[in-house]
């Protein structure tokens, strides 16, 4: 059961985070230092109304996922994150479950990539963090409790992403997704959320069940990807996936060849996304 101190701590830590340090524009008059509630909501993938109720002590049972998302959005250190969990009346996530904590050092790297679409996923391909260029490119991601926050679910059951792939590339992509999820299940057999995700995928996607039952194994490779964007048209980019030493986090980075129309369209998307945020 979260106490009133939980809301006070969120507000106090929100006030100390400079927008530009979180990869957000700092323009416009601000009545108080730090992040606005709307900005923290964007960074954490939580509604503004819920953050307001938490800060005012009117919401007393935040989930582990919400507290973890707030810790990421507020750029908390490991000690501060542990304190926020205590204030929420929750235990820290079990080390035998898929880790979702983004260290402060990795967060600083992400905060500096303000002109490049970047997203961070956990070992199950669940989206943990993203910046504004990524949201402008892919569309605003769903909230933390939406199944489509998971890339495997979004591909096999949900709406997918507006990406062009040949049939061969699609098969390779699907095989790599299933293979990654199988590896995560083997590494974290006690993770109940992961087990439920796999069971739900098998029940809702014939294609996923077929690949899972066949024992298909694949490997995700860096590749070019073309996104059909509704505002600027097709954008072809290199999609690279970086891993963090000592962690299962995957950092996905999209870049376009300098001097090309794709680079110009990607730059325009970044500007359009910024205008949408501050308008």
For the stretch 20-59, pLDDT in tens is: 777 777 666 777 778 999 989 988 888 899 999 999 988 8
What is the topology classification, in CATH, of domain 104-278? Beta-Lactamase (3.30.450)
Q: In b/e form, how buried is each residue of 100-124, taking b as 16+ CB within 10 angstroms? A: bbbeeebbeebbeebebbbbbbbbb
Domain locations in the chain as residue ranges: 4-87, 104-278
Is residue 279 scored above 60 in pLDDT? no
What's the CATH class of domain 4-87? mainly alpha
Q: Please, which residues have CB within 8 angstroms of residue 67's CB and are 6 or more apart in sequence? A: 84, 85, 88, 90
Listed residue (119, 172, 189, 183) closest to 149, CA to CA: 119
- Overall average pLDDT of the 213-241 stretch: 86
Measured in whole angstroms, the distance separating CA 60 from the mean position of its chain's CA atoms is 25
Angle at CA of residue 72, ends 241 and 182, nearest 5°? 45
At 213 the pLDDT is 94
Helix count (H) and strand count (E) of the chain? 12, 6
If you average pLDDT over each of 2-16, 99-113, 127-141, 186-200, which comes out highest? Answer: 186-200
Which of these, 68, 191, 199, lies nearest to 127 by C-alpha position?
68
Does position 199 have pLDDT exceeding 60, yes or no?
Answer: yes
pLDDT in tens, 60-114: 889 888 999 899 889 998 899 999 999 999 988 888 889 888 887 788 888 888 8
Give the DSSP letter of residue 91. P
* Phi, psi values for residue 224, rounded to 5°: -80, 150
Query: For position 28, what pLDDT does the model report?
Result: 66
* Distance separating alpha carbons of residues 98 and 267, to the nearest angstrom: 34
What is the spatial distance between Cα 114 and Cα 229, in angstroms, rounded to a whole number?
A: 20
- Average model confidence (pLDDT) across the chain: 87
Whether pLDDT at 274 is above 70: no
Residue 150: name the closest of 130, 124, 129, 168 by CA.
124
Q: Please tell me the pTM assigned to this model.
A: 0.80
CB 238 within 8 A of CB 222: yes
pLDDT at 276: 45
Can 4-87 and 104-278 be said to share one CATH topology? no
Determine contact, residues 138/117, Cβ cutoff 8 Å: yes
**Percentage of the chain modeled with pLDDT above 70:** 95
């Amino acid at each position: 059961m979260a106490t009133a101190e939980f809301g006070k701590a969120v507000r106090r830590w929100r006030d100390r985070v400079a927008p530009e340090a979180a990869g957000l524009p700092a323009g416009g008059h601000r009545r108080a230092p730090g992040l606005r509630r709307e900005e923290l909501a964007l960074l954490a993938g939580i509604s503004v109304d819920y953050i307001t109720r938490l800060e005012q002590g009117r919401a007393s049972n935040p989930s582990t996922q919400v507290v973890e998302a707030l810790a990421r959005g507020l750029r908390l250190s490991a000690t501060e994150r542990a304190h926020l969990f205590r204030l929420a009346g929750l235990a820290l996530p079990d080390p035998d479950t898929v880790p979702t904590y983004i260290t402060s050092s990795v967060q600083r790297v992400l905060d500096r990539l303000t002109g490049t679409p970047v997203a961070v996923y956990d070992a199950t391909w669940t989206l943990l963090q993203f910046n504004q260029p990524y949201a402008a490119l892919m569309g605003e991601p769903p909230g933390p409790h939406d199944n489509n926050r998971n890339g495997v679910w979004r591909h096999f059951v949900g709406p997918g992403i507006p990406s062009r792939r040949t049939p061969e590339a699609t098969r390779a992509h699907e095989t790599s997704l299933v293979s990654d999820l199988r590896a995560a299940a083997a590494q974290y057999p006690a993770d109940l959320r992961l087990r439920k995700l796999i069971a739900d995928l098998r029940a809702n996607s014939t294609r996923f069940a077929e690949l899972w039952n066949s024992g298909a194994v694949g490997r995700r490779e860096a590749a070019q990807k073309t996104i059909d964007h509704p505002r600027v048209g097709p954008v072809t980019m290199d999609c690279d996936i970086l891993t963090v030493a000592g962690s299962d986090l995957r950092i996905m980075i999209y870049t376009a060849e300098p001097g090309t129309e794709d680079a110009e369209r990607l730059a325009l998307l970044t500007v359009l996304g910024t205008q949408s945020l501050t308008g």
